[in-house]
Copies of this chain bind each other. A is one copy, B any other.
């Protein structure tokens, strides 16, 4: 048998925000799996800030999505046909399946999900790439020590909310930055000691009051004004972890750099970038630790699940940049 699959392809590279001209929505027939292959019926598609970067034809940590190719996406779904001994029909799996209804793949990079630990949506969030990003960014790149003061931006997002809770579990004082009263209220629910609503303006002033003695680790997901405020309010020996810069991802020219970078000298601080895939060999240790945190209640994963077919993907992606989500943003097919 074959499967009729709707998929979202990259039609044209966007300047600024992606729009209708960016995508083409097409139907294709997915054939029976060949030797070693399997077919996955995609059920949840992950929406990630990094997706915007994958659309640019520039040298980066990963090649861009090619024109005419199916949009790259992490996703979860169910195996509906398999000629691969590692996967059986009915298994729920995750992988880089792309924005499509059915994915034919060879099993490389596909993981069977243990639904006794958490639902599939969480395996795309706190136990997936965002969770790994939070864990290795904070503990390895940020060299977090128990009891330090941690600042995290986009703290109501998939990565940020996990960073916040890992740091709390390590006995840290945590300041979370988010936009709007609802998100800020949620940050308090999940343990933030202080919060900053960047939409209120005066981020530096808010930060000085939230962390009067400065910040040991700043986990930066946004760049821009929050990064500059953090640089002005570090503690000696601070580590700034550069995870992302969502504030500038849709700018048509390179956004301004952090004006206060010379604070690195004053505070003997460092600013370090990383790519979570470099820690792939060590994902199991993070999954194991974070599964325990979910079980004992110190980590409360949250997902915002949009409903719609793959046709809803372009709008869902824009929603991510507008910040419609609390926790991990997913599109349910």
Contacts and interface: CB of A to CB of B under 8 A. Distances in A.
A199 interface: no
A59 interface: yes
Nearest to A270: B272
Interface in A108-161: none
Contact of A254 (B60, B259, B275): B259
A11 interface: no
Contact of A61 (B59, B223, B266, B273): B266
Contact of A266 (B59, B258, B272): B59
B271 A270 contact: yes
B256 A257 contact: yes
A181 interface: no
Contacts of A256: 256-257, 259
A273 B263 contact: yes
A198 interface: no
A1 interface: no
A245 B262 contact: yes
Nearest to A62: B266
Contacts of A257: 228, 256-261
A274 B266 contact: no
Q: Give the copy number.
A: 2
A184 interface: no
A268 B275 CA distance: 7
Contact of A242 (B228, B254, B264, B273): B264
A209 to B, nearest CB: 17
A255 interface: yes
Contacts of A60: 266
A3 interface: no
A273 B264 CA distance: 5
A269 interface: yes
Contacts of A263: 273
Contact of A261 (B267, B268, B271): B271
Contact of A268 (B260, B262, B267, B274): B274
A223 B261 CA distance: 10
Q: For the complex of A and B, list the 4 residue pairs with the smallest distance between their C-beta atoms, beginning with the closest.
A: A257-B257, A264-B273, A265-B273, A270-B272
Given A257-B260, A266-B275, 17 more contacts: A59-B266, A242-B265, A243-B265, A244-B265, A257-B258, A257-B259, A257-B261, A261-B271, A262-B273, A264-B272, A266-B273, A268-B274, A268-B275, A269-B272, A270-B270, A270-B271, A271-B272
27 contacts: A60-B266, A61-B265, A242-B261, A242-B265, A245-B262, A254-B259, A254-B260, A256-B256, A256-B257, A256-B259, A257-B257, A257-B259, A258-B258, A258-B261, A262-B273, A264-B272, A264-B273, A265-B273, A265-B274, A265-B275, A268-B273, A268-B274, A269-B273, A270-B272, A270-B273, A271-B271, A271-B272
